[in-house]
């Protein structure tokens, strides 16, 4: 008997066939799993409201994801690299030689030296009083001797570098930084630290130039986003990057319209050109409206207000949902602006299948695709067997895609396309898995983009790794309260990640920009990014 179900709706189990009974059991097991998940979430919510911490989720250490474990070096027959100490870093510090004498008895023979290298760090606080000469000229003017370059708000350049490095690289909070400097004998307030962190316009301008240089020269981009708090409201931080640069931008929305605005890289105009009109047609804007827009002589609009006023004059149709023609036309004008400024030239955007990233040439992350199969709940041995078999086929296919990237050929491309169809067209008898395979097959164009563009990555691991720094800062410091603080956090995090990808020490980058005496020279990062793109 089914408790709580009217007798008219209760199925007669004796009249059902074996196949119908199995289908009913499968549905009931799925509903039971969903109810268990709901109960667990409600219990966690109740515990949170009561102020009780739930059971921590502890993942096994060092366990790779299923796909990477199946297609890594050991899976292809190569020996796995033994875990141990990291390799030696390049020696960036000059070595100072000191001779140590030994007390030896008379008659001993000198046999040379035995070297022993020690690394040391000096932290020494200094207070300098500059006695600036004051002169009164014959015409009544007062001439004051200028301060040395690099001093800002009673803080020297070396101290500024230390504060910026500790905050961004060391993920230190402002109160702890103030306490640390106090322990070293320096009197620096939290307000001074905040001003130093948020008022570095030269470096933040370079961060914007890094994004423009990357979008102008990138053959591919990986993108991802994560939650962010700003001015007490929930927002989103979007990451964009490749193997040469990284940029972060925090906004209040994660829509496609917002993503296209980020891809303009600071430009504010709206442009109607062939790319914009084609975008509108593909997104389903009424063809008559597109024709009216195409017939206008004005094609470039300075800002959003001018663009929206132009649409109103054209009596542009509006609808109160996501397919609003005004919204779609605005997306098209943004795409036209991106094209007009030479950004994203034949660039493939690799994402995790989030809808807002589906613009231009789009590819999907295979790790996220396999994860959908991996997370599927199974309730019978047959379902578990079918799931594991499909996962093994996907891992095998993923490994062969990586092999294809090293030596692509037309014949191998055709073989992989046919094999993709065989894998994702199969019917396993597990209805949930079959629907998922059909969904992945529908995304075949994006999943197989690598066959036409072997240079692109098969996953978005780079973006997820870059976002970890932002997530750590969010957990340590919460959100930002001012637009300057938000821009400074995003800008410096992007510069730090970019320096790491270019092989530049972030310490040297800060020293060069702050005018620290005898610091290493660091070239303009956008120029380095363009040079890397020009290399074969």
pLDDT in tens, 62-85: 555 555 555 555 444 444 544 444
Q: What is the pLDDT of residue 153?
A: 81
What does the pLDDT average to over 454-476? 93
This prediction has a pTM of: 0.80
Nearest by Cα to 359 from 372, 337, 344, 342? 344
User: What pLDDT, on a 0 to 100 scale, did the predictor assign at position 305?
Assistant: 94
Query: What pLDDT was estimated at residue 92?
Result: 73
- pLDDT digits over 184-232, tens only? 999 999 999 999 999 888 999 999 999 999 999 999 999 999 999 999 8
pLDDT in tens, 12-48: 677 777 777 777 888 888 888 889 888 988 888 887 7
Residue 283 contacts residue 332 (beta carbons within 8 Å)? yes
Q: Are 148 and 514 in contact (CB under 8 A)?
A: no
Residue 387 CB contacts under 8 Å (≥ 6 apart), including other chains: 373, 376, 378, 430, 433
Asked if 165 contacts 510 with a C-beta cutoff of 8 angstroms, the reply is yes
Q: 89-98, 189-198, 251-260: which has the minimum mean pLDDT? A: 89-98
Gap between the Cα atoms of 448 and 6, Å rounded: 50
Contacts of 321 (CB under 8 A, 6+ apart): none
Q: List b or e across 138-177, with b for residues whose CB sees 16 or more CB atoms inside 10 angstroms.
A: eeeeeeeeeeeebbbeebbbbbbbbbbbbbbeeebbeeeb
Q: What percent of the chain has pLDDT over 70?
A: 89
Q: In this model, does residue 454 exceed pLDDT 60?
A: yes
């Amino acid at each position: 008997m089914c408790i709580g179900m009217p007798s008219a709706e209760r199925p007669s189990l004796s009249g059902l066939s074996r196949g119908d009974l199995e289908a009913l059991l499968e549905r009931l097991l799925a509903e039971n799993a969903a109810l268990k998940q709901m109960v667990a979430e409600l219990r966690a919510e109740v515990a949170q409201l009561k102020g009780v911490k739930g059971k921590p989720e502890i993942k096994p250490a060092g366990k790779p994801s299923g796909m990477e474990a199946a297609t890594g070096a050991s899976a292809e027959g190569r020996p796995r690299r033994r875990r141990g100490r990291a390799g030696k870093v390049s020696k960036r510090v000059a070595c100072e030689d000191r001779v140590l004498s030994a007390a030896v008895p008379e008659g001993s023979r000198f046999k040379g030296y035995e070297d022993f290298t020690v690394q040391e760090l000096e932290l020494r606080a200094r207070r300098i009083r500059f006695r600036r000469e004051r002169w009164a000229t014959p015409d009544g003017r007062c001439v004051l001797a200028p301060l040395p370059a690099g001093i800002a708000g009673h803080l020297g350049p070396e101290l500024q570098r230390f504060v910026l490095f500790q905050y961004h690289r060391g993920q230190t909070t402002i109160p702890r930084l103030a306490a640390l400097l106090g322990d070293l004998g320096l009197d620096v307030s939290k307000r001074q630290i905040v001003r130093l962190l948020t008022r570095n316009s030269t470096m933040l301008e370079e961060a914007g130039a890094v994004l423009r240089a990357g979008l102008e020269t990138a053959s591919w981009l990986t993108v991802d986003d994560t939650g962010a708090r700003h001015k007490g409201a929930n927002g989103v931080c979007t990451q964009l990057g490749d193997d040469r640069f990284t940029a972060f931008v925090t906004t209040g929305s994660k829509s496609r319209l917002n993503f296209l605005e980020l891809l303009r890289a600071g430009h504010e105009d709206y442009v109607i050109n062939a790319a914009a009109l084609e975008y509108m047609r593909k997104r389903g804007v009424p063809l008559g409206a597109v024709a009216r827009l195409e017939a206008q002589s004005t094609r470039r609009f300075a800002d959003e207000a001018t663009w929206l006023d132009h649409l109103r004059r054209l009596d542009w149709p509006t609808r109160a949902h996501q397919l609003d023609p005004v919204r779609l036309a605005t997306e098209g004008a943004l795409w036209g602006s991106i094209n007009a400024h030479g950004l994203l030239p034949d660039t493939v955007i690799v994402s995790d299948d989030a809808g807002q990233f589906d613009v231009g040439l789009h590819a999907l992350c295979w790790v996220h695709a396999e994860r959908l199969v991996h997370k599927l709940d199974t309730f019978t041995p047959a379902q578990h067997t079918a799931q594991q078999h499909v996962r093994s086929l996907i891992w095998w296919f993923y490994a062969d895609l990586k092999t294809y990237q090293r030596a692509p050929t037309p014949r191998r491309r055709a073989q992989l396309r046919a094999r993709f169809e065989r894998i994702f067209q199969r019917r396993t008898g597990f209805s949930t898995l079959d629907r998922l395979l059909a969904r992945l097959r529908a995304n075949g164009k994006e999943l197989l983009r690598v066959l036409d563009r072997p240079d692109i990555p098969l996953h978005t691991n780079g973006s997820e790794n870059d976002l970890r720094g932002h997530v750590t800062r969010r957990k340590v410091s919460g959100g930002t309260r001012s637009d300057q603080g938000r821009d400074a956090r995003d800008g410096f995090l992007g510069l730090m990640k970019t320096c790491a990808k270019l092989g530049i020490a972030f310490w040297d980058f800060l020293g060069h920009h702050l005018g620290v005496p005898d610091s290493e020279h660091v070239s303009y990062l956008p120029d380095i990014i363009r040079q890397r793109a020009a290399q074969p």
